[in-house]
Structure 1
């Protein structure tokens, strides 16, 4: 059996798209007769604190679904302070370096990026003519940081650009979750080997049901990270609640602001359900008419994994983020699109959606589109041929 190592910042029991993506990749490779091992920090996302079960550990190795998982030390932090976040990334990079010194590393390694510094550490110390490095790029940093307003075009930005290019240059294969990512890579290194690896879900498509509306209102659901990039707090303030009810699931930096808004404005038809497990969430989502996928800014290269997950659940979508994600919604008829950042247009789009547009027939069509076009096992099979 061929050995393969995956280096990632996120892995279960942590929740979220990144954790799910890497877990399914590791599990899928294991089923394709690879001996899979994973290096990841002690679980700390999204709280920025090491989970209770791992507190006091410097490292922890376990066997999970026949996958060897090495959890190593990190100075955990989700602080808005850029210095503390940098220290957190550097601490994980240091732990990786220490791990590389004392452990035998397989000939094939998949490295998750971002974070850029973690990917840089892995590429720097593992590059070898005898080793195949595969860089799995899920977001384009530092470009995304610039578009989110987290970075400015200064010396630090130029340094991150150099790190980004170093990572691409010394990787044998680049996996990108969007065509925009791959176009960016080939604009710098035209001859680089690339592969489109979408974040397709890997769960059994559920049997769909026809749900009833809430007091005649359209039941809209948002589920996911309540972070700055998603802009859910602003969304809550800008929506017209005349004919809709908004339900929210998740956790993140804006959680308290959203809870305070609901408490202080009882007239707003918003229900916050907190955070639930992914399995529980899938069951809950079947009870809603439609979901909304917002981004505060259009981010080049970003394609929310929610698109593929919701399609498999047969859930129609309102996409409010622009870019390649918008094109996917239109191309595969997965729902409705509103102009990124234009809340007036968003409310207009929502006002034209009728509950009759969201009957069981519509949901089954979306689910069938997902099964035919967003197939995890088909995609993985194509990737395996390149490893």
Structure 2
């Protein structure tokens, strides 16, 4: 039985795409008779504070579904202060160094990036001819940070670019969640071994048998992180509600502003449902006509994992983020797209929606696409051949 260590910043009980992605990878490998261990911080995301059940601990080790989980100390913070965010990342990096010193590390390691500094710590201290380092890239940093306005092209940015290049250079295999990520890495290291590893979910395909409404407003839903990058607060302000009800699930930095906006505008068909478990969310989502996937700005290399999750649920999508995600929606006929950042175009697209073009048959065709093209087990089997 081959031992594999996965190093990640996010893992359940934390919620979100990153946590789900690594959990499914760990669980999938374990089911294929790999001996899996995970190294992750004490749960803190997206709240910015360690979850109550884990407070006061320096380390917690447990076994769940035959996966050993090492949860290490972190100075948790989701502050907008860049120094505090840096301290938070460095604290986990220091915990990782301590972990490396006192534990036998397997010969195969999968390292999640971003955060860049955490990936750098792992690549720097674990690089060895006797080990295989696999770098799993879900977003391109520092490029994404530059596009989001978090960075400026200065000395710090150049330093992050060097860290990024170091990580790629010392990886034996790079997993990228988008074609754009792999193209970027090949531009720096043309001979680098790489593999397109999409964020396909792994849960049973639900049966679609409900009677869809044939009249009234379209019920549109957003579910996920309420962060700056998603721009849900701006979306609430810019939407034309004449043809839709807009429902929101999730938590994050913009939550308070969204709740205040709803209180200040009681006449709008706008409802915030809070944060619910993934199981409850999947069940709730089946009652909506369409979901929207927004990004405030187009981010190079980013493909929201929601696309693949909603495809499996059979939910039509309205994509409002540009880039590679837009092409996937078009190529596989998963719904509608609106030009990124153009709210007039978005509202025009919404005005064309009706219950006929959001039919049960359309939803079933979306699910069939998931079964054929976005299958987790098929993708994992191809990855295992490369390990």
- TM-based fold match above 0.5: yes
* Distance across 2 between alignment mates of 1:212 and 1:36: 43
Structure 1 residue 321 corresponds to structure 2 residue 314: no
Partner of residue 92, structure 2: 92
1:124 matched to 2:113: no
CA contact (8 A) 1:211 1:289 kept: no
Q: Which residue of 1 aligns with 2:170?
A: 170
Counterpart CA distance in 2 for 1:195 and 1:155 is 31
Is contact 2:214–2:355 with CA below 8 Å preserved after alignment? Answer: no
The 5-angstrom pairing of residues 1-387 of structure 1 reads 1-213=1-213, 216-387=216-387
Query: Distance between the aligned counterparts of 1:191 and 1:336, measured in 2?
Result: 37
Per-residue deviation, 1:353: 1.3
Q: Verify the 8 A CA contact 1:77 1:88 in the aligned structure 2.
A: yes
Deviation at 1:291, TM superposition (A): 0.3
Given that 2:46 and 2:252 are in contact with CA atoms closer than 8 Å, whether structure 1 keeps it comes out as yes
1:210 Cα deviation after fit: 3.6
Q: For 1:238-270, what per-residue CA distance to the aligned partner results, in whole angstroms no more than 9, with x for missing partners?
A: 000011100000000000100100101112110
What is the CA RMSD across the aligned residues, in angstroms? 0.8
Mark the runs of 5 or more structure 2 residues left unpaired by the alignment.
Answer: none
Deviation at 1:102, TM superposition (A): 0.7
- 5+ residue gaps, structure 1, are none
TM-score normalised over the length of structure 2:
0.99
Deviation at 1:175, TM superposition (A): 0.1
Preserved CA contact (<8 Å) 1:213 1:219: no
State the SS of the aligned residue for 1:356: coil
Aligned equivalents of 2:39 and 2:207: distance in 1?
36
Query: Normalising by structure 1, what TM-score?
Result: 0.99
Cα contact 1:214–1:245 (8 A) shared by 2: no
User: How much has 1:212 moved relative to structure 2?
Assistant: 4.0
Question: What secondary structure, in the 3-state scheme, does the structure 1 residue paired with 2:356 have?
Answer: helix
Distance in 1 (alpha carbons) for counterparts of 2:259 and 2:46: 18
1:136-195, CA deviations, whole angstroms, 9 ceiling, x for partnerless residues?
Answer: 000000000000000000000000000000000000000000000000000000000000
Q: Distance in 1 between matches of 2:327 and 2:341?
A: 16
C-alpha distance after superposition, 1:297-333 (max 9, x if no partner): 0000000000000000000000000000000000000
Please tell me whether the aligned partners of residues 211 and 288 of structure 1 are also in contact (alpha carbons under 8 angstroms).
no
Following superposition, the deviation at residue 359 of structure 1 comes to 1.0
Distance 1:130 1:105 in 2: 11
